[in-house]
């Protein structure tokens, strides 16, 4: 068990949630970065900034310390229900691995149980566990799908993520309104058009 276990993201307001050795090292680096960017690191407003950033970055990447399969297994229940279970509009905040700039949006996750269900909150927790890392949207989508498929072995899994990438909004190509949609399916969502269409209808995705 380390400070980040239990599949929890709560408790980050508490000092002991941070690894103090890592925080100190990150602080040194962020102080140097601020200086390289042309700032006066001794001015009052910036005195605590390296420490704040060091902690913020640890929070934004705390998914590395979570085990998503363990999260699902911790609430895996035997149940005969064999209809679609959909958790939609799960908000997510991640960071693109190319620029370390946020991308944010929502995930829609569905599965069709095959003997086992999981606690609904655990679906949102695994989204969180994979999102709170440096990511590309495509990999995030597939990781969520594979985690559910491999842990619950359901009849099918569907994951759709709609996200805006700030690296495309505030820099680079500077397109404010583009939304990227990615999807990943297994089982019945691949083989049965009706099942996939029902999912797409339920999440309200507009296909052009
Ligand atoms: N496929 C994919 N690309 C992403 C994601 N997040 C950011 N990117 C893209 O990663 C690419 C990196 O391209 P590079 O040409 O190496 O970097 P760059 O010169 O900063 O590119 P620009 O953003 O076009 O200025 C860019 O096209 C980004 O839009 C993501 O989740 N998935
Ligand atoms: Zn980027």
DSSP code string of 179-199: -EEEEEE-THHHH-HHHHHHH
State whether the beta carbon of 107 lies less than 6 angstroms from ligand 1: no
3 state SS of 99: coil
201 is in an annotated binding site: no
Q: What is the mean pLDDT of the segment spanning 21-32?
A: 97
State whether the beta carbon of 172 lies less than 6 angstroms from ligand 1: yes
Residue 108 contacts residue 85 (beta carbons within 8 Å): no
Class of domain 67-203: alpha beta
Q: What is the mean pLDDT of the segment spanning 93-110?
A: 98
Delimiting residues of CATH 3.30.1130.10 domain(s) in the chain: 67-203
* Mean pLDDT over the full length of the chain: 93
Please tell me the predicted confidence (pLDDT) of residue 17: 72
Rounded to whole angstroms, what are the CA distances from 105 to 16, 94, 149, 156? Answer: 30, 9, 23, 23
Cα 46 from Cα 50, distance rounded (Å): 8
Please tell me the predicted confidence (pLDDT) of residue 11: 59
Q: What is the pLDDT of residues 145-171, one digit of tens each?
A: 999 999 999 999 999 999 999 999 999
Q: What is the pLDDT of residues 122-132, one digit of tens each?
A: 999 999 999 99
147 is in an annotated binding site: no
Residue 86 contacts residue 54 (beta carbons within 8 Å): no
Q: CATH for 15-64, among 3.40.50.410, 1.10.286.10, 2.40.10.10, 3.40.50.2300?
A: 1.10.286.10
Question: Annotated catalytic residue: which of 39, 167, 169, 198?
Answer: 167
State whether the beta carbon of 98 lies less than 6 angstroms from ligand 1: yes
Active site residue 147: no
ipTM of the complex: 0.89
Q: What is the mean pLDDT of the segment spanning 203-207?
A: 82
Residue 81 contacts residue 113 (beta carbons within 8 Å): yes
Given ligand 1 and candidates 98, 104, 130, which is best to mutate, with the most ligand atoms within 8 Å of its CB? 98
Delimiting residues of CATH 1.10.286.10 domain(s) in the chain: 15-64
């Amino acid at each position: 068990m380390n400070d980040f276990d239990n599949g929890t993201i709560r408790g980050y307001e508490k000092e002991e949630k941070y690894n103090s050795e890592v925080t100190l090292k990150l602080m040194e680096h962020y102080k140097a970065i601020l200086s390289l960017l042309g700032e006066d690191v001794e001015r009052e407003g910036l005195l605590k900034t390296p420490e704040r950033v060091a902690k913020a970055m640890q929070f934004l990447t705390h998914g590395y310390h979570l085990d998503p399969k363990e999260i699902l297994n911790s609430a895996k229940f035997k149940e005969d229900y064999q209809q679609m279970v959909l958790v939609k509009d799960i908000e997510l905040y991640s960071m693109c691995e190319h620029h370390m700039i946020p991308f944010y949006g929502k995930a829609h996750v569905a599965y069709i149980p095959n003997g086992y269900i999981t606690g609904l909150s655990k679906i949102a927790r695994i989204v969180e566990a994979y999102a709170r890392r440096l990511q590309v949207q495509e990999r995030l989508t597939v990781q969520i799908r594979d985690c559910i498929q491999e842990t619950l072995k359901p009849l099918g899994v569907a994951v759709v993520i709609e996200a805006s990438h700030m690296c495309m909004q505030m820099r680079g190509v500077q397109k404010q309104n583009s939304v990227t949609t990615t999807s990943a399916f297994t089982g019945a969502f691949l083989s049965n058009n009706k099942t996939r269409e029902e999912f797409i209808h339920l999440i309200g995705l507009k296909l052009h």
